[in-house]
């Protein structure tokens, strides 16, 4: 697509429930990133995919968080047993690798997760 | 690990005036990228300006320019002729060069909220 697309835009869930957030990157972008942005803070890195594999998952806070990118395009961030502290905006970004890379990441509009 | 510090939580500027947003960073790398991103209420991060560390010349994009001081590890953003549409959160960000293959993520500061008044 023309830009990074994230769904849902907003998600309200109850504590303890399971949540999936989806990211569709810009066509042809092989690198995909997930960030979490808490209220009043800057985005914090969660995980980075190069193709289908997670090249760096050092930002995932605990084992309740998991992300996949099975075909190297769309990615899903999965959160199990949600807690109120998981409430945040989850941002996805993508970029092209190789000679065309200009260093910047292209972001979607994020998914706002609210855990009641 | 790299860190990015924005010491101004909020700034205000009158329309048509000039404002400077501050950013400092810490790194042991000699080559890297620095960015300023704008985040309006729509939540989407929009690139404002980019600077490559090996370039001594300060980047400029229309009304936006930077003052890059590599030795001081300082990267400030100057907005000239401020417009109402410039009101947003502004984030400074650092990124290692993609060719290093590691640490390709962006590291963000905590942001500065810019208000533009009439």
Structure confidence at residue A98 (pLDDT): 67
Q: What is the DSSP letter of B85?
A: G
Helices (H), A1-116: none
Q: Between β-strands B64-69 and B3-5, what pairing exists: parallel, antiparallel or unpaired? A: unpaired
pLDDT in tens, A2-60: 899 999 999 999 999 999 999 999 998 989 999 999 998 999 999 999 889 888 899 99
Write phi, then psi, for A86 (nearest 5 degrees).
-80, -10
- Note whether A103 contacts B98, CB cutoff 8 Å: yes
Chain B nearest C-alpha distance from A95 (Å): 10
Contact of B25 with chain A, judged by CB distance below 8 Å, is answered with: no
Structure confidence at residue B87 (pLDDT): 97
pLDDT in tens, A88-97: 999 999 988 7
CATH for B3-117, among 3.30.465.10, 2.40.400.10, 2.60.40.10, 3.40.50.720? Answer: 2.60.40.10
Q: Which of residues 5-44 of A touch B (CB under 8 A)?
A: 31, 33, 40-44
Structure confidence at residue B100 (pLDDT): 57
Q: Residue A1 pLDDT > 80, yes or no?
A: no
Write phi, then psi, for A46 (nearest 5 degrees).
-110, -60
For chain A, give every domain's residue range.
Answer: 5-115
Structure confidence at residue B103 (pLDDT): 42
Banded model confidence at residue A99, pLDDT cuts 50, 70, 90: low
Per DSSP, the three-state class of B39 is strand
Q: Of B41 and A113, which is predicted with more confidence?
A: A113
Class of domain A5-115 as given by CATH = mainly beta
Compute CA B86 distance to the chain's CA centroid, rounded to the nearest angstrom.
14
Mean pLDDT per 10-residue section of chain B, whose length is 118 residues: 93 97 94 93 92 91 96 97 97 80 76 96
pLDDT in tens, B20-41: 999 999 998 888 999 999 999 8
């Amino acid at each position: 697509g023309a830009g990074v697309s994230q769904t849902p835009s907003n998600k309200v869930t109850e504590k303890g429930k399971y949540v999936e957030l989806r990211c569709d990157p810009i066509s042809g972008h092989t690198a995909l990133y997930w960030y979490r942005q808490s209220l009043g803070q800057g985005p914090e890195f969660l995980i980075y995919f190069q193709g289908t594999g997670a090249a760096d998952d050092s930002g995932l806070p605990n084992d309740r968080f998991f992300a996949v990118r099975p075909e190297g395009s769309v990615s899903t961030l999965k959160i199990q047993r949600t807690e109120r502290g998981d409430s945040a905006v989850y941002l996805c970004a993508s970029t092209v690798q190789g000679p065309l890379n200009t260093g910047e990441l292209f972001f979607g509009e994020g998914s706002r997760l609210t855990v009641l | 690990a790299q860190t990015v510090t924005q010491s101004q939580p909020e700034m205000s500027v009158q329309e048509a005036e000039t404002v400077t947003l501050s950013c400092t960073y810490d790194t042991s790398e000699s080559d890297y990228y620095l960015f300023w991103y704008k985040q309006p209420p729509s939540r989407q991060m929009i690139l404002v300006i980019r600077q490559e560390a090996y370039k001594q010349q300060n980047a400029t994009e229309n009304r936006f320019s930077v003052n890059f001081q590599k030795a001081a590890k300082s990267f400030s953003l100057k907005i000239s002729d401020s417009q109402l549409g410039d009101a947003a959160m502004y984030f400074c960000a650092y990124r290692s060069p993609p060719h290093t293959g590691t640490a390709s993520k962006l590291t963000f500061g905590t942001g500065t909220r810019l208000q533009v008044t009439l």
